[in-house]
Structure 1
Amino acid sequence: MPKANKSKELNNTPNMSLRNQILKVADELFYRDGIHTTGVDTIIAQSGVAKTTLYRYFPSKDDLVVEYLKDRDRRFWECIEVAVNQAPDNPKAKLVAIFEWVENLIAQPDCYGCPFLITITEFPTLDYPGHQVALAHKNKLRERFVELAKQAGVAKPKELGAHLLMLLDGAFVERRLYGHSSDRIRLKAATTILIDNQPN
């Protein structure tokens, strides 16, 4: 494939930086097709940028994976905070609102599961940079659940936080396994049952 010149690159990106264009394409390919399967040359071709441009912003594929996951993390938390802020002003309702948002997310046709779980599955080695970003995301999410559980006055907030994370991850795995061939995952109802059965 001939290299894209600078003017062609700029014409392809009227409303976003070249870095964001590369990241957007990488996000779509990594999430849909997998990180191992997606080569840098494919990202370059679909981004319409020169190889030197990609490596100027992302010195290695590992760097690109890390930025992809950080961007996914940022967008995830933006959506979570919107859901929490729109919920009634009590901790239980805020927990349920998080899972209601995830239930709706999983029902979307372009949802292939959790990008962080997918990355950890592809790269099980703990010292892989992308694995570390994914693990930090999961730890932060569990801590958020524990914080809300404490505010709700449950007797064992850490235990509930761990159970809620398992419930959420299980829903993402089911979506990955069965796609849209299965019935809609009733995550909100399952969350309510789990919280209501916690001793206070």
Structure 2
Amino acid sequence: MTTSTETSSTPSARERLLDAAEALIYAGGIHATGVDAIVRESGTARKSFYTHFESKDALVAAALERRDERWMNWFIEGTRNSGGTPRAQLLGMFDVLRKWFASEDFHGCAFLNASGEIADAEDPIRVVARGHKARLLSFIRELFDEFAAASGHDSRHAAKLSRQWLILIDGAIGVALVSGEPDAARDARAAAERLIGDEPESSRSPSRRAPSR
């Protein structure tokens, strides 16, 4: 039930706290962002924080969980729309990343950033970050299985290639963050093309074949 001052379209206090925590922590880091700043940015009362979260770490973990869901949905949709074949989609991942790198609000990978601030591997924040990378790896593996089936490549190498692909993705994110150069994604794509080899002639569309002489 909503009150006269809180309609169904108005974000709840919990949602506003999550929004504020994600934005501030992604831009400035976990340790540099205090609870007071999050509460102030959210426009809620400090009591709301303690009503919904037992600690700042619990709020951060919840914000990262929500970001994981949103980021993965965005990345999967962008990748699936980037090409008509599994190979094109695998390489299209780097085009999707480049658009992200070029955006004004790009501050690297929120999950790598968070992991760099939390020493305990079993801390809930690190657990969420690890789960995000596992989801990303699973999606990459799904595409490599499709790639193997479509191209006749040995499916036994899919797991190894998927892990290498994830390293290329995270490497590109790191280089783009430090250098400020979105083209880190293009460099990673070039390395990825060498990793999976040339596209079989039979799988190319007529428009991509060399013109006859």
Do these two structures clear the TM 0.5 threshold for a shared fold by scoring above it? yes
Q: TM-score range by the shorter chain?
A: 0.7 to 0.9
- Quickly say closer, same or farther: Cα 1:114–1:183, change in 2 above 3 A: closer
Residue 196 of structure 2 aligns with an amino acid whose one-letter code is I
Residue 145 of structure 1 aligns with an amino acid whose one-letter code is I
What does residue 97 of structure 1 align with? 92
What does residue 157 of structure 1 align with? 158
- Give structure 1 stretches of 5+ with no counterpart: 1-6
CA offsets 1:19-75 (integer angstroms, 9 cap, x no match) = 111111111110010001101011112222111111212221111111111111111
- Identity, in percent, stands at 31
| Number of aligned residue pairs | 187
The CA RMSD measured in Å over matched residues stands at 2.3
- Quickly say closer, same or farther: Cα 1:71–1:183, change in 2 above 3 A: closer
**Counterpart Cα distance in 1 of 2:193 and 2:125:** 33
How far 1:142 sits from its partner (Å)? 1.3
What is the TM-score with the length of structure 1 in the denominator?
A: 0.84
CA contact 2:82–2:93 (8 Å) conserved in 1: no
What is the TM-score with the length of structure 2 in the denominator?
A: 0.79
Residue 183 of structure 2 aligns with an amino acid whose one-letter code is R
CA contact 1:40–1:61 (8 Å) conserved in 2: yes
Residue 192 of structure 1 aligns with an amino acid whose one-letter code is E
Residue 150 of structure 1 aligns with an amino acid whose one-letter code is D
Is 142-151 or 159-168 further displaced after alignment? 142-151
After TM superposition, the runs of 4+ consecutive aligned structure 1 residues lying more than 3 A away are 187-190
1:33 aligned onto 2:34: no
**Counterpart Cα distance in 1 of 2:101 and 2:194:** 20
CA offsets 1:119-162 (integer angstroms, 9 cap, x no match) = 11111311100100100111121122122112211431111101
1:123 aligned onto 2:118: yes
